[in-house]
Amino acid sequence: MLDTYSTQVFTNTVIKVTDLNHYFGKGALKKQVLFNINLEIKSGEIVIMTGPSGSGKTTLLSLMGGLRSAQEGSLKILEQEILGASKNKLTKLRRQIGYIFQAHNLMTFLTAKENVRMSLELHEQYLNQDIDKKTISMLEEVGLGERVNYYPEDLSGGQKQRVAIARALVSHPKIVLADEPTASLDKQSGRDVVELMQKLAKEQGCTILLVTHDNRILDIADRIVYMEDGKLKKDGVDVRAKVN
Ligand code: ADP
Ligand code: MG
């Protein structure tokens, strides 16, 4: 699988983090959780971030996704500085990013189809297209063509996570941020889910940053970075270089 992609050249930078610091709390309780983070991710790259619990991975991911306000340093997403960006700018940015979390975060009162559909409805450019058709063909791509009208409670863990992938990728985002997407899945479902993400992302040319503790899926990455105590310890472990 890796060989297929080994000739790929990554050129455009889609995420550029420079000297980023982050703090929680105020006054005497103020605590620094990210220290001088520098990281550049190119278009089409699949980067895996690992590291112990509490090392700052989720914090960094949520800053990159515009889900939390950046405080110090520089954070450029799709060539736009998001440190100090307006709410409006952050909202627009969030629409260009697909999110996949540990718990699938599906709306329990909506069917698989309605959950995926909702993500398209946020995009004006899709409103005059056949949203239902797009939604169903995305669910077919993740192998859930027979389950479009099921509610989350009637789907297995792996199936729910596949709905979440369909929801994240249906609008063809330039970036997908995934926080421990396999944590609640058994070995085989976890593997299936990341291989599916990899396949769809490579088809769409989308960039993936995936946080995981799961050593069994590291091989899907183009590059692995390691976070410890709020610092990026290792950047640039090129998986393909090791293989070749
Ligand atoms: P990871 O995802 O690597 O497990 P986190 O980014 O969740 O790490 O957490 C990094 C550090 O920041 C931890 O010490 C955690 O306790 C702290 N932290 C995370 N979120 C908050 C918050 N909302 N308020 C205060 N401290 C937080
Ligand atoms: Mg986390």
Q: Which of 6-15, 21-30, 84-93 has the highest mean pLDDT?
A: 21-30
Kindly report the backbone phi and psi dihedral angles of residue 160, in degrees, each rounded to the nearest multiple of 5, phi listed first.
-60, -40
Instruction: Identify the residue whose tokens are 């310890």.
Output: 233
Higher-confidence residue: 101 or 167?
167
Identify the band that residue 8 occupies on the pLDDT scale cut at 50, 70 and 90. Answer: low
pLDDT averaged over every residue in the chain:
89
User: What is the radius of gyration, based on Cα positions, of the chain?
Assistant: 18
Most informative mutation of 20, 24, 63, 232 for ligand 1 (most atoms within 8 A of CB): 24
- The model's pLDDT over 177-235, given as tens digits with 9 standing for 90+, comes to 999 998 888 888 888 889 988 998 889 889 999 999 888 899 999 999 999 999 998 65
Euclidean distance between CA atoms 148 and 153, whole angstroms: 13
Is residue 6 predicted with pLDDT exceeding 90?
no
Quick check: CB of 44 below 6 Å from ligand 1? no
Residue 9: its pLDDT value, please?
Answer: 67
Please check the confidence at residue 236 and state whether its pLDDT lies above 80: no
Question: Is residue 242 over pLDDT 50?
Answer: no
Asked whether the beta carbons of 90 and 66 are under 8 A apart, the reply is yes
Residue 1 pLDDT grade (very low, low, confident, very high; cuts 50, 70, 90)? very low
Q: What is the pLDDT of residues 31-72, one digit of tens each?
A: 999 999 999 999 999 999 999 999 999 999 999 999 899 999
- Which residue's C-alpha comes closest to atom 21 of ligand 1? 24
pLDDT at residue number 244: 36
* Distance from C-alpha of 140 to C-alpha of 133, rounded to nearest angstrom: 10
Q: In what order do the strands lie in the sheet with 231-238?
A: 97-100, 175-179, 207-211, 46-50, 223-228, 231-238
Predicted pLDDT of residue 235: 59
Percent with pLDDT over 70 in the chain: 92
- Cα dihedral value 7, 75, 99, 31, nearest 10: 130
Which residues lie below 8 Å from residue 203, measured CB to CB, with a gap of 6+? none
Task: Output 158 or 102, whichever has higher pLDDT.
Answer: 158
CA pair distance 75, 142, nearest whole angstrom: 32
Q: How far apart are CA 46 and CA 79, in angstroms?
A: 18
Q: How far is the CA of 100 from the centre of ligand 2 (A)?
A: 12
pLDDT of residue 243: 40
pLDDT at 168: 92
DSSP category for residue 48: E
What b/e sequence results for 172-181 when a residue is b if at least 16 CB atoms lie within 10 Å of its CB, and e otherwise?
Answer: ebbbbbbbbb
pTM for this model (two decimals) = 0.88
Q: How far is the CA of 32 from the centre of ligand 1 (A)?
A: 10
